[in-house]
């Protein structure tokens, strides 16, 4: 009876943590995350090809990360029921192996499930970590069998989850290869796990409606997104080095029990599970500390999970040992819990770690999946109410044909029921390498480009406004006409006769960090710039392990007002962007796009610029100096119509 009760309660708790059975939270203003989540749902429903039609950090099963969309709801529920059962079964096997008192095994399972499914914004990445860690500990510490159904299901589900997020695929592949090395080198047997993992990835790729020919572009372009993430998306803080150092100290304490158990059991081959733990920690560290915001919560929870599983792995060795050894084990546990509690409260506002965990144990929360069987309409009602809120916030006219939005407010398209015609890198802040930026520009030149565009300026992290999708701006100015503007969006319509633009060379010279550079006058036309900033070998190493210092672009305007400072992304600057005049709102973009509108932008002309790193000297050893600055006059014909004078009824933001 006790065993059955423990099994049923832990299974119910697992389902309550993983099944999407509660309406997701929404921000009435900042809809960035909401937009990409909804786009992933729509992409699965319409079988858009990842790597070709869409390029993002997530894959074809990425909609499993959360959100609600009626056409994918049942698929998401079935998927998470299956994944939750595998997760629970594997933990059950581990708990029965490590802990003799079933009450302790139950408490340990509840702790692991609660940490893996803690309700925070980045909880999905913790699930990816949990699956990889369970496979690692199950193989090295709990199940030495060559073939077992539980391990086959776990590896197959890990291949499935690898297609949700590309970094999850890389981490899963790394863990599988480490276990394969153990099979070959120590156990002298065929690494069957590699075959199961590869076949599962292929099966679920095809099951998502993806063509086999799209898998290569998916890997290639996902690598481009991942490779450029650090320089483009990094953020800093006054205590970032201290926080990173404390993380690694806590991680070392969490790995110590697992390391001891591995050494006692395998001697020199005990290095393999430690390498696996290091791999998981590396991915969580990069995810948490490149941006150094709420993403850090994933790294904190991963350390806590490793500590819990390491304690289970080493506990059989501690039984019967001296009280001093047991005391050391409890001391390590207290250190890890203290770090997790303090760090979690610092990086995630609101309730603390323990308060959130206790909240997941409430009976109404544990039993929440039952609502899916008798009151599933609550989710649909919440979804429709949210769409109505967006329509009220962004009142727009009816649009015929395909619609795309710059830079990332896709939820506006979904709320109005328009046909979404996405560009490949569908959120502009992610087009942060020349190759990715050119994919979007080439899409505008193709016949697949949207008939209508909603355009606004929302630069992420204080970037120079024209950097996001900057390579596409000449195409926007010559292939689309302004139909109207609100405070929220500029409405662009595809031109019946696309115009041509030309780049006339003005300046090509080396520039150095922290040295002001005079720019050609923009009175005869906008100034287009290409800034070639090359990393040093040291920077490549620093970027791989952590992050280099951010770069800043300071500009002075003809109209005065002092210097303005913006974040500069090297890959975007290399792709090319509009440097002068400074376009920082919808009105100035309309002026840029329409006949004689440039006269109102005289005060916004950039007269000088300075590039510097956020270091004491303004320079850095991470980038080569001098850099190469190429300036061009962007010449393009404006449309002859007067549509720029049209105004749409709107509600102010």
423-470 pLDDT tens trace? 999 999 999 999 999 999 999 999 999 999 999 999 999 999 999 999
> For the residues 632-653, what does the mean pLDDT come to?
60
**pLDDT of residue 293 exceeding 50:** yes
Higher pLDDT, 348 or 608: 608
* Residue 239: band (very low, low, confident or very high) from pLDDT cuts 50, 70, 90: confident
> How sure is the predictor about 23, in pLDDT bands with cuts at 50, 70 and 90?
low
| pLDDT for residue 598 is more than 80 | no
Do you know the residue count of the chain?
653
Residue 466 sits in the same domain as residue 556: no
In this predicted structure, the answer to whether residue 244 has a pLDDT above a threshold of 90 is yes
> % helix / strand / coil in the chain, to the nearest 5?
55, 10, 30
Banded pLDDT at 322 (limits 50, 70, 90)? low
Does residue 507 share a domain with residue 489? no
pLDDT band (50, 70, 90) for residue 324: low
pTM summary value: 0.93
Q: Which of 498, 514, 530 is the last residue of a domain?
A: 498
What mean pLDDT is predicted for residues 534-551?
91
Q: How far apart are CA 186 and CA 558, in angstroms?
A: 70
The answer to whether residue 68 sits within a structural domain is: no
pLDDT, residue 619, reads: 87
Kindly tell me if the per-residue pLDDT of 342 is higher than 80.
Answer: yes
Is residue 313, in this structure, part of any structural domain at all?
Answer: yes
Mean pLDDT of 241-251: 93
What residues form DSSP beta bridges with 445?
none
Residues 405-411 have a mean pLDDT of 94
Q: Given a cut of 70, is residue 537 above it in pLDDT?
A: yes
Asked if residues 15 and 360 have their Cβ atoms less than 8 Å apart, the reply is no
Does residue 526 share a domain with residue 482?
Answer: no
- The answer to whether residues 577 and 465 belong to one domain is no
Give the per-residue pLDDT at 532: 95
Note the pLDDT tens digit of each residue in 362-384: 998 898 888 777 666 788 888 99
Spatial CA neighbour of 444 closest among 400, 480, 408: 480
The answer, yes or no, to whether residue 628 has pLDDT greater than 90, is yes
Residue 67 lies in a domain: no
Query: CB 539: neighbour CB atoms within 10 A?
Result: 20
Question: Which residue's structure tokens are 């030149």?
Answer: 445
Categorize the per-residue pLDDT at 653 as very low, low, confident or very high, splitting at 50, 70 and 90. very low
- Report the pLDDT value the prediction gives residue 370, as an integer from 0 to 100: 82
How many C-beta atoms lie closer than 10 Å to residue 192's C-beta? Answer: 15
Is 211 inside any structural domain? Answer: yes
Residues 153, 129: one domain? yes
pLDDT of residue 25: 55
pLDDT at 30: 55
In which region does residue 463 sit, left (phi positive, over 0), alpha (psi from -120 to 50) or beta (all else)? beta
Measured CA to CA, the distance from residue 344 to residue 342 in angstroms comes to: 6
Cis amide leading into 581 (omega within 30): yes
Total Cβ atoms within 10 A of residue 538:
13
CB under 8 Å to 46, separation ≥6 — which residues? none
Q: What is the pLDDT of residue 325?
A: 64
Which of the listed residues 474, 498, 522 is the one where a domain comes to its end? 498
> What is the predicted pLDDT for the residue at 99?
86
Give me the number of domains the chain comprises: 3
Distance CA 599, CA 581 (A): 11
Is there a single domain that holds both residue 567 and residue 456?
no
Q: What pLDDT, on the 0 to 100 scale, is given for residue 521?
A: 80
Backbone angles phi, psi at 610, to 5 degrees: -140, 130
* Dist CA 15 CA 82 (whole Å): 10
Contact call for residues 94 and 134 (beta carbons, < 8 A): yes
Name the more confident of 24 and 56.
56
- Per-residue model confidence (pLDDT) at position 649: 40
For residue 212, tell me if it sits in a domain.
Answer: yes
Nearest in space to 108 (alpha carbons), one of 142, 83, 79: 142
Please answer whether residues 301 and 250 qualify as being in contact, where contact means their C-beta atoms are separated by less than 8 angstroms: no
Mark whether 203 and 309 lie in a shared domain. yes
- The residue whose two tokens read 């500029």 is 490
Looking at the domain assignment, is residue 16 inside a domain? Answer: no
Contact 64, 163 (CB under 8 A): no
Residues 326-351 have a mean pLDDT of: 84
pLDDT in tens, 37-50: 999 999 999 999 99
Assess whether pLDDT exceeds 80 at residue 318: no
Tokens for 493? 């319509």
Q: Which helix (H) or strand (E) holds 332?
A: helix 323-347
* 353 and 395 housed in the same domain: no
How many whole angstroms separate alpha carbon 274 and alpha carbon 279? Answer: 9
Q: Are residues 480 and 512 in the same domain?
A: no
Q: Are residues 481 and 554 in the same domain?
A: no
Check: CB of residue 419 under 8 Å from CB of residue 402.
yes
What share of the chain has pLDDT > 90, as a percent? 67
Mean pLDDT of the chain: 89
Structural domain that includes position 251? 2-11+77-360
352, 341 in Cβ contact below 8 A? yes
Residue 380: per-residue pLDDT: 87
The answer on 429 and 541 residing in a single domain is no
- Phi, psi (deg, nearest 5) at residue 578: -75, 115
Q: Give the pLDDT score at 148.
A: 85
Six token digits for residue 110: 């509840």
Residue 274 CA to residue 262 CA, distance in Å, equals 8
Residue 122: pLDDT over 70 = no
- Whether residue 644 is predicted with pLDDT greater than 80 in this model: the reply is no
Q: Give CA 486 to chain center in angstroms.
A: 30
Residue 52 in domain = no
Phi, psi for residue 444 in degrees, rounded to 5? -65, -30
Is 32 inside any structural domain? Answer: no
Asked if 475 and 521 sit in the same domain, the reply is no
């Amino acid at each position: 009876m006790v065993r059955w009760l423990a099994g049923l309660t832990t299974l119910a708790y697992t389902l309550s943590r993983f099944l999407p059975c509660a309406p997701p939270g929404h921000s009435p203003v900042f809809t960035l995350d909401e937009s990409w989540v909804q786009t992933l749902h729509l992409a699965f429903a319409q079988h858009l090809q990842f790597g070709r039609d869409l390029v993002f950090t997530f894959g074809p099963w990425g909609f499993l990360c959360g959100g609600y969309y009626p056409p994918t709801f049942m698929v998401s529920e079935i998927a998470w029921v299956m994944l939750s059962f595998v997760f629970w079964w594997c933990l059950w096997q581990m708990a029965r192996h490590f802990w003799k008192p079933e009450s302790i095994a139950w408490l340990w399972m509840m702790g692991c499930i609660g940490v893996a499914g803690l309700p925070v914004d980045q909880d999905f990445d913790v699930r990816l970590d949990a699956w990889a860690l369970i496979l690692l500990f199950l193989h090295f510490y709990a199940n030495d069998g060559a073939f077992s159904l539980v391990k086959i299901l776990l590896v197959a589900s890990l291949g499935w989850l690898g297609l949700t997020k590309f970094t999850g695929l890389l981490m899963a592949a790394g863990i599988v290869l480490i276990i394969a090395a153990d099979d070959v080198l120590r156990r002298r047997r065929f690494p069957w796990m590699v075959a199961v993992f590869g076949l599962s990835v292929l099966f679920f790729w095809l099951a998502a409606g993806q063509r086999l020919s799209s898998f290569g572009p998916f890997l290639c372009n996902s690598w481009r997104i991942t490779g450029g993430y650090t320089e483009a998306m990094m953020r800093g803080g006054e205590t970032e080095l201290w926080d990173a150092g404390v993380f690694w100290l806590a991680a070392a304490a969490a790995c110590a029990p697992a390391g001891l158990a591995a050494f006692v059991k395998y001697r020199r081959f005990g290095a393999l599970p430690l390498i696996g733990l290091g791999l998981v920690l590396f991915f969580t560290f990069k995810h948490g500390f490149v941006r150094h915001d709420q993403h850090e919560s994933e790294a904190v929870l991963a350390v806590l999970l490793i500590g819990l599983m390491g304690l289970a792995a080493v506990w059989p060795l501690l039984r019967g040992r001296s009280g001093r050894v047991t005391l050391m084990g409890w001391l390590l546990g207290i250190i890890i819990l203290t770090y997790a509690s303090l760090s979690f409260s610092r990086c995630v506002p609101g309730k603390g770690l323990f308060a959130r965990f206790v909240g997941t144990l409430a009976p109404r929360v544990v039993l929440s999946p039952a609502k899916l069987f008798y009151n599933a309409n609550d989710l649909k009602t919440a979804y429709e109410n949210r769409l109505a809120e967006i329509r009220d916030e962004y009142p727009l006219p009816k649009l015929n044909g395909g619609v795309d939005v710059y830079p990332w407010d896709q939820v506006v398209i979904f709320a109005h029921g328009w046909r979404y015609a996405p560009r490949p890198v569908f959120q502009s802040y992610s087009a942060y390498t020349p190759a990715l930026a050119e994919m979007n520009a080439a899409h505008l030149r193709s016949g697949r480009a949207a008939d209508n565009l909603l355009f606004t300026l929302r630069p992420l992290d204080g970037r120079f406004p024209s950097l996001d999708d900057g390579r596409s701006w000449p195409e926007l100015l010559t292939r689309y006409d302004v139909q109207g503007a609100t405070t929220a969006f500029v409405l662009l319509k595809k031109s019946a006769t696309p115009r041509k633009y030309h780049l006339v060379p003005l300046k090509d010279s080396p520039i150095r960090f922290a040295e002001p550079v005079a720019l050609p006058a923009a009175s005869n036309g906008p100034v287009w710039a290409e800034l070639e900033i090359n990393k040093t070998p040291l920077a490549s190493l620093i970027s791989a392990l952590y992050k280099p210092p951010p770069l800043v672009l300071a500009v002075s305007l003809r109209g005065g007002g002092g210097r303005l400072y913006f974040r500069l992304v090297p890959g975007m600057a290399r792709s090319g962007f509009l440097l002068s005049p400074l376009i920082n709102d919808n009105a100035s973009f309309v002026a840029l796009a329409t006949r004689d509108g440039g006269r109102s932008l005289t005060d916004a002309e950039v007269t000088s610029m300075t590039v510097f790193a956020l270091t004491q000297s303004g320079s850095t050893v991470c980038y080569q100096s001098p850099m190469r600055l190429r300036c061009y006059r962007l010449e393009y014909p404006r449309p002859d119509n007067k549509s720029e004078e049209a105004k749409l009824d709107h509600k102010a933001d």
